[in-house]
Amino acid sequence: MADNFRQTEILEIARSEGRVEVDTLARRFGISVQTIRKDLAELSLQGALKRVHGGAMLPARLTNIGYEERRALNADAKTRIGKACAALIPENATVFLNIGTTTEAVARALLGHRNLMVVTNNLNIANILSANPSCDVMVAGGFLRRADGGLTGAQTTQVIANFKFDLAVIGCSALDTDGDILDFDLEEVSVSQMIIRQSRKVILAADTAKFERTAPVRIASLEDVDQMVTDAPLPQAMTPPLGNFSTQITIV
């Protein structure tokens, strides 16, 4: 396979899965790990990938990637996370699900639940849960973000302030090594902060791509959520601050 075609396919894998591993690529293409490392080095020089230990990942951005691209990124992991989060949600509960492709996976996993009341600022989640006749859905109003169907702004936070949720599942764009939960949109962050304040239990749903990205706005600390559901062990650099937190980490 010509180098340019192989590198194009490596990029497609990275966009689909968030990162690529040297050993896995070598087996996939039937070539040496040295050749794969050369491919990754060239893609890194082009700015298409960022080298990390054992492989490479999509480079961090100061703006969020497109919603459809995010939906496809780590799709299998998000499905597993969604099912695990849904298993933690009892029937007859009042739940908040916020903006995000991972929280959408949670909504799909809730289609078999009974007697739920779900409040959301995500029109995609409202549409998904409309297929569950045993689930009441309330959409928190606000300004529509057409790119992803999210609702944000003062009206959204005012609606949320009227509730006390049994449980909330929130997503994020990035997770810093000191345990800070990060996002890109200041108004969306204000909504997430209100959700945390108004919920008896908070679950953070985040796949491993969030460990290696960055974003400029702080939502909260992992210390402020009760549980995190993810698809791989947290980076070693995050272990020291986690030792001071009571947050339960669930890996699926």
Is the pLDDT at 63 greater than 50? The verdict is: no
Is the pLDDT at 145 greater than 90? The verdict is: no
- C-alpha closest to that of 207 among 41, 84, 37: 84
DSSP assignment of the chain equals --HHHHHHHHHHHHHHHSEEEHHHHHHHHTS-HHHHHHHHHHHHHTTS-EEETTEEEPPP-SSPPPHHHHHHTTHHHHHHHHHHHHHTS-TT-EEEE-SSHHHHHHHHHTTT--SEEEEESBHHHHHHHTT-TTEEEEE---EEETTTTEEESHHHHHHHHT--BSEEEE--SEE-TTSEEEES-HHHHHHHHHHHHTBSSEEEE--GGGGG---SEEEEEGGGSSEEEESSPPPGGGHHHHTT---EEEE-
Lowest-pLDDT choice from 87-96, 164-173, 214-223:
214-223
pLDDT at 197: 98
**What is the mean pLDDT of the segment spanning 70-81?**
81
Give 34-55 pLDDT, tens digit per residue: 999 999 998 888 878 888 888 9
Long-range pairs, 102-106, Cβ under 8 A, ≥24:
102/78, 102/171, 102/205, 102/206, 102/207, 103/169, 103/170, 103/171, 103/205, 104/71, 104/128, 105/78, 105/79, 105/81, 105/205, 106/81, 106/82, 106/169, 106/205
Query: Residue 32: what are its φ and ψ, rounded to 5°?
Result: -75, 155
pLDDT at 237: 83
Is the pLDDT at 219 greater than 50? The verdict is: yes
Give 115-141 pLDDT, tens digit per residue: 999 999 999 999 999 999 999 999 999
Which of 224 and 2 is assigned the larger pLDDT? 224
Lowest-pLDDT choice from 105-109, 150-154, 197-201:
150-154
Query: What rounded mean pLDDT belongs to the chain?
Result: 90
Taking residue 102's Cβ as centre, other Cβ atoms within 10 Å add up to 27
d(CA 141, CA 57): 36
pLDDT band at 1 (very low <50, low <70, confident <90, very high): very low
Is the pLDDT at 209 greater than 90? The verdict is: no
